[in-house]
């Protein structure tokens, strides 16, 4: 049986001058009567509902670049596949990377080949030949070879500084006369120098056929030794070899003639 207080509150507040039913007085009376009020359940308070709402909102606000990552392009897949093959080949060919490698006993010989393609011996030897040469045409050729070697150092250093690719994990930093940019791997400076010098000698020196074959073999062995020693990845050497040929074409375009530097040839 309802309480008389509640009954009177219902009768007094059931209608108002505007003709609308009032519920607030009922709620107030029940509260004052110390009757517990059961909280109204809202579906939005459910943890499952909040999780679904959050996920739906995040899907609606997903940035465009994240959507693109879910659907990689053909170019991205091709580059990742090429990188995986590159690392696999580098590890397989790096048979002289450590003393305990399968061809570790050949490491000293490979390091001699490495020195034969280093920039410092080539620059020092070219300057000495330029000083000792008494031929007008010979000085022109040697001067342009020196220009090519210096250009190679500059261009390779710039590309290495921009790309900043780390050397392979199996590499040991025991190279001869390294510089700050030599901690980076791409491209191979030995490969660029070997390709450029070999093409320069084949085009500007009169060599017998066996010597020409030895020059080409030297360029190939120097480039291959970079991967066998674990110094570079395969793509570093391939790009370096191509870059060396392009550098030679640039040297031919910028060829220094005796008319360009007449005072040098009057020494």
Query: Which tokens go with 192?
Result: 């660029």
Per-residue pLDDT at 157: 92
pLDDT tens, 27-68?
444 444 444 444 454 544 554 445 455 544 444 554 554 444
Per-residue pLDDT at 174: 79
Per-residue pLDDT at 41: 46
pLDDT of 159 higher than 80: yes
Q: Cα separation of 222 and 239, whole Å?
A: 14
Mean predicted confidence (pLDDT) in 111-126: 92
> Percent of the chain scored above 70 by pLDDT?
69
CA angle 65, 66, 71 (to 5 degrees): 95
> Percent of the chain scored above 90 by pLDDT?
40
Split at pLDDT 50, 70, 90, the class of 97 is confident
Q: Cα separation of 178 and 114, whole Å?
A: 12
Q: Give the end-to-end CA distance of the chain in Å, rounded to a whole number.
A: 128
Per-residue pLDDT at 187: 92
**Beta carbons within 8 Å of 204's beta carbon, 6+ residues apart:** 141, 144, 145
pLDDT tens, 224-259?
999 999 899 999 999 999 999 999 999 999 998 866
**Beta carbons within 8 Å of 142's beta carbon, 6+ residues apart:** 126, 129, 130, 133
Query: Which tokens go with 69?
Result: 């990552």
Burial 219-251 (b: 16+ CB within 10 A, else e): beebbbbbbbbbbbbbbbbbbbbebbeebbeeb
What is the average pLDDT value for the chain, to the nearest integer?
78
pLDDT of 103 higher than 90: no
Split at pLDDT 50, 70, 90, the class of 181 is confident
Is 36 buried (19+), middle (13-18) or exposed (0-12) by CB count in 10 A?
A: exposed
pLDDT of 22 higher than 70: no
Active-site residue set:
190, 232
Q: Comparing 200 with 170, which gets the higher pLDDT?
A: 200
Mean predicted confidence (pLDDT) in 62-81: 65
Split at pLDDT 50, 70, 90, the class of 83 is confident
């Amino acid at each position: 049986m309802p309480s008389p207080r509640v009954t009177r509150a219902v009768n007094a507040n059931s209608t108002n001058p505007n003709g609308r039913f009032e519920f607030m007085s009922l709620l107030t009376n029940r509260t004052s009567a110390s009757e517990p009020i059961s909280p109204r359940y809202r579906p939005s308070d459910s943890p499952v509902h909040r999780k679904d709402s959050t996920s739906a909102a995040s899907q609606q606000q997903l940035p465009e670049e994240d959507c693109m990552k879910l659907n990689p392009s053909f170019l991205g897949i091709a580059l990742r596949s090429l990188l995986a093959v590159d690392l696999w080949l580098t590890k397989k060919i790096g048979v002289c990377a450590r003393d305990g490698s399968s061809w570790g006993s050949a490491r000293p010989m490979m390091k001699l080949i490495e020195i034969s393609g280093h920039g410092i011996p080539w620059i020092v030897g070219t300057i000495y030949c330029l000083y000792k040469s008494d031929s007008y045409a010979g000085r022109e050729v040697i001067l342009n070879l020196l220009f090519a070697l210096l250009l190679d150092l500059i261009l390779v250093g710039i590309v290495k500084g921009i790309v900043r690719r780390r050397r392979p994990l199996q590499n040991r930093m025991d190279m001869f006369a390294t510089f700050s940019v030599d901690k980076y791997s791409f491209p191979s400076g030995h490969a660029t120098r070997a390709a450029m010098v070999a093409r320069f000698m084949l085009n500007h020196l009169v060599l017998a056929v066996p010597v020409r074959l030895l020059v080409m073999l030297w360029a190939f062995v120097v480039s291959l030794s970079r991967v066998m020693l674990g110094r570079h990845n395969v793509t570093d050497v391939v790009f370096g070899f191509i870059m060396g040929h392009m550098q030679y074409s640039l040297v031919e375009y910028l060829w220094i003639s005796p008319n360009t530097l007449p005072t040098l040839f009057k020494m």
